[in-house]
Structure 1
């Protein structure tokens, strides 16, 4: 006997609402794609459909906006941040979930509390701290990739740890107990059992850490110099530099925006299966 499914809306109305929502989301994306294939004059004149499709904007943007350096810096910093936060978050979450010690509950509550602190409030303290490291320790932090990595890791690690805590609570302890009776150490259990079983959640934590750095403009604009600026900062600088010009290069701006969005879209397509599994598995006991 099939179970009755309760729908919030009748099927015809549900189809109409779905089509309208998809059109609302995809219409701006379609306009960006068409504008990037149009000329700057055509976009400035208000053309929606380009009279002539051209890829000139995609070839010229690499010299006008200096996207190549920004994308390389973003991939390095965000990739290292994603891997470090996922691995450290998994190790920290395993300790918080499987062991009892003084202050464990306070740490778990602190992880939740850290998510409510706006990043804008931390910009000045982080800048002063990094500047002090250069003054008192002789370390150059501001303007380097690893300084930006430390800033991103500070915000990504609490979230990654909490994601892994939620997921590890749903893993059965029997597998670890069976491995421990066979003489496996805690490190072996973590790397041979926990991490392979937690791969969907690790991917989720890594992707969110990657996006945190990829979309950031505030910290990257303050903690970098022209040689180490990220793709988001390069795109912002390019857009700001073109304001008030004789001919706004809207087509090149659209092309640059699509190029900067391509790695994120590719990341979602590659890890879509793990992403969906990691987001849903931790909520089902």
Structure 2
């Protein structure tokens, strides 16, 4: 008791208050000017390329080919041309449909699977958890040929056409997104107290009722994180989408890759349209982060402290 009183008196004498400016100065790892320089450098490394892409998208192809950073004349013509030259509308629709379906289904399946793995003890539980972790170390490039052979053989043995369909690409992405999403939810559910579930069961709630009314609302940050990562997996993928799709089912990433490859070797590549199409393809992901950013911090740090 005397030690605590001494510490409080010493803090009062030195002007040290929790949350005060003096405390922030003591706990700061770097001096203020050096920290400002480092943060400014990091922001410049990230924002300058994005600024150049935007300026090139409103510049002429000749100006971009000359290496102009600031365009001599601003025009939004490139943003109107990409819908016919790149075929971006169909690609964006396919990407939103496939990646969005993967995110929703993966998030819903992962929370139910993780709830069983965390709250119940059964034979093979640890094996499943270790298997989910081991699946994250398998490179996707090694699975392209096996997945393609498996899905192409389905047309011969089962009479079901999988290659070239949107739902076939959805199953492919779900195969890789579900283990990661499940592991994220396992980490998150381990930090939830069991007392809430026990109180709900005392009130007569079933296992499904506990999952829907108790676990799901409390796990919303983790569900958002797992869904966003699953969405990014489908949105940014080019390897599987180029193999598993046809021209009518190709995603925006594949359409952008084909458009860029078709311009190689030309007199003046349409750099402005390529930059405009890149920004349009990146816009949905940025909007998604801005909408769900308040859930990302809580979901990513889940399980860090018990």
TM over 0.5: yes
Q: What CA distance in whole angstroms lies between the structure 1 residues aligned with 2:66 and 2:218?
A: 55
> How far does residue 281 in structure 1 lie from its aligned partner after superposition?
3.2
Pairing 1:201-212 to 2, within 5 Å after superposition? 201-212=222-233
| Deviation, structure 1 residue 258 | 0.1
Shift of 1:183: 1.2
Deviation at 1:145, TM superposition (A): 0.3
What is the CA-CA distance between 1:20 and the residue it aligns to? 1.1
Which residue of the other structure, out of 64, 69, 72, is the alignment partner of 1:43? 64
TM-score by length of 1: 0.98
The one-character-per-residue Cα deviations of 1:159-206 (angstroms, maximum 9, x if unpaired) are: 000000000000000000001111110001001110011000000000
**Equivalent residue number for residue 82 of structure 1:** 103
2:176 to 138, 143, 155: 155
Structure 1 position 143 matched with structure 2 position 164:
yes
Q: Does 1:249 align with 2:250?
A: no
Cα RMSD (Å) of the superposition?
0.9
Structure 1: which 5+ residue stretches go unaligned?
none
CA distance in 1, matches of 2:45, 2:285: 21
Post-superposition offset of 1:21? 1.2
Work out the CA distance in 2 between the residues paired with 1:192 and 1:9: 46
Alignment partner, residue 281 of structure 1: 302
**The residue matched to 2:122 in structure 1 has which SS?**
coil
Q: In structure 2, the residue corresponding to 1:90 is in which secondary structure?
A: helix
Q: Give SS of 1:42's match.
A: helix
Using the TM superposition, name which of 22-31 and 90-99 deviates more.
22-31
- Cα contact 2:187–2:302 (8 A) shared by 1: no
Residues 1:124 and 2:145 aligned together: yes
* Residue 22 (structure 1) aligned with residue 43 (structure 2): yes
CA distance in 2, matches of 1:200, 1:7: 29
1:53 matched to 2:53? The reply is no
Secondary structure of the 2:54 match is helix
CA–CA distance in structure 1, aligned partners of residues 299 and 101 of structure 2 = 21
- TM-score normalised to structure 2 length: 0.92
* Residue segments in structure 2 that go unaligned for 5+ positions in a row: 1-16
How many residue pairs get aligned? The number is 285
Determine helix, strand or coil for the equivalent of 1:202: helix
Pick which of 115-124 and 19-28 moved more.
19-28
**Whole-angstrom distance in 2 between the partners of 1:281 and 1:222:** 36
| Corresponding residue for residue 8 of structure 1 | 29
Greater CA drift, 8-17 or 149-158 = 8-17
Please give the per-residue CA displacement for 1:18-66, whole angstroms capped at 9, x wherever unaligned: 1111111111010000000111111111111011110000000111000
Matches of 1:119 and 1:252, distance apart in 2 = 30
